[in-house]
Structure formats: C-alpha cells, structure tokens
Amino acid sequence: MANFGWAYVDCSTAGGGGQAAGPTGSLQFLTGANATSGSTHLLYHTGGYGEHVSNTLVLSGNMVITGTLSASVFNYENISIIDATGSTFFGNTIDDIHSRTGSLEIWSGTTAILTSSAYSQQTFVRGFGANYTRVTSSHHTASTSDYILGIVATVTPPGNVMITIPSASTFGAGALLVIKDQQTSPRGLSNITLTCSAGASYGFDGASTYVLTGTMPAISLYSNGANWFVF
C-alpha cells in the first residue's frame, strides 16, 4: 500500500480484524507488528468537550516541529519562559499592535542596551539616536516622525525660512522637537520663524510665532498635548 500513498483501516471485526485501538477520538499511530493504537494524550474532538470547542486537536505532551508551523492565532497560557533563537518577525501591517505586560530588557552579551521597567515606569538606553530631517526648503512643515530639524535652507533677505509646527495635540503630550540652524554663514536680515497652522489656537510659550535669530540658534520644544513650550 505504500506505493499508492494511502492506507485502508477497517475498524470492524468482520472485515479487517479490528486493528485500530485506543480511546474514542484518539489519533492512530503505529505500535509495531502492523498494529495501530491511540492515546488519551492526543485526541481530536469533533464536538465541544470540556473547555474545548468543536473540531479541536488536543495534545497533552511535548511536540517537536522540524518544519514550519502556521496558525491564525497563538494563545500562550501559564508561560514563564519563551526561549527562541534566530530572527523573529511580528506583524505585517502598520495597524498591528504588539502588547505585553511586564518589563523589557535588551542585552548585548552582559551589557544592557535598553531596559524598560514596569515597576519604576522608566526606560534607560545605552545610546540614543533620533530621527533627523535636513530642511532645505524655505517653507517646511514638521511631522510627528520628526525629532531633529536641521535647517540649511537660505532665503535672500528680507525673506525668512518658515517652519510650520502642527498642533501639540497632533503630536501628543510629551512629544519633543529640536530645531537647529545649521547655516554657518550669518543670515543677515533673514531668520527662522516657527509658525502655527492656519487658524490654530495653540502656540509656543503662548505666542503664535517664535523667531530664531543670531548665529546658528537652536530651540527645544515639548508638547503638553495642547501647546508647545520652550525648554
């Protein structure tokens, strides 16, 4: 029968000798001497049984998979340690959310690269790099993905470089922005002016505009969710 890629098992005593054995719902496995059997450790329930819904395969033991395991949902219960090696990938769209309860640590050997404590609610990093945007346009609008804006754009006097900072509520409370003039040559009568969006009710330390003047000035802003503040 191996040449045909299938096997026939007759569970009736009249036809095939009743070789299939084991508890109801058990999957069959070869025990030797051309006999099959089943076990309570590997059961398939066609109907609801206890805490299990219909059409559920239940393994109460260990499983070793040498190929690929695919599933729509994985539920981990009573897990104290998940040990994995190699690369891992989570999610396939930007609206996927990966939530966890507890602290997070990332190590390189014996060196802590990032630690985030659920107890102290503090996060520490060994080194930090933020998104940098080089601004070459005389009119630029910051975005929520920005952290550092390096202004290299110049405008012939008396024109100014205009940087629009969207509402603090768009960025959210605690958001940070750093704006730095990277033009080493004096701007003369020109300057860098931070402005709010048209018709906005928020501001920078209460003002609707903020002007950066002098040689290579810089400003740091933080949001409280309603307004921007200089610090």
Name the residue type at position 27: L
Q: How many CB atoms lie within 10 A of CB 97?
A: 5
Write down the residue that tokens 């205009």 correspond to. Answer: 162
**Alpha-carbon gap, residue 31 to 20, rounded angstroms:** 10
pLDDT of 120? 97
**pLDDT beyond 70 at 19:** no
Radius of gyration of the chain (CA): 32
In the three-class reduction of DSSP (H, G, I as helix; E, B as strand; rest coil), residue 98 is classed as: coil
**Alpha-carbon gap, residue 201 to 166, rounded angstroms:** 11
What band does 226 get if pLDDT is binned at 50, 70 and 90?
Answer: very high
**Residue-by-residue DSSP string for 63-89:** ---SS----S-----S-S-----S---
Provide the CATH topology of domain 132-230: Jelly Rolls (2.60.120)
**Alpha-carbon gap, residue 212 to 195, rounded angstroms:** 11
**Alpha-carbon gap, residue 166 to 146, rounded angstroms:** 11
The pLDDT tens digits for 133-144 are 999 999 999 999
The pLDDT tens digits for 158-213 are 789 999 999 999 999 999 999 999 999 888 889 999 999 988 999 999 999 999 99
- Alpha helices (H) in 49-167, listed in sequence order: none
Q: How far is residue 212 from each of residues 32, 165, 192, measured CA to CA in Å?
A: 85, 14, 5
> What is the mean predicted confidence (pLDDT) over 5-16?
58
Name the residue type at position 181: D
Answer yes or no: are the C-beta atoms of 202 and 155 closer than 8 Å: no
Highest-confidence segment of 14-18, 73-77, 160-164: 160-164
> What is the mean predicted confidence (pLDDT) over 70-94?
86
Greater model confidence, 165 or 12: 165
Answer yes or no: are the C-beta atoms of 60 and 45 closer than 8 Å: no
The pLDDT tens digits for 37-48 are 899 999 999 998
The residue extents of the domains of the chain are: 1-100, 132-230
Answer yes or no: are the C-beta atoms of 153 and 184 closer than 8 Å: no
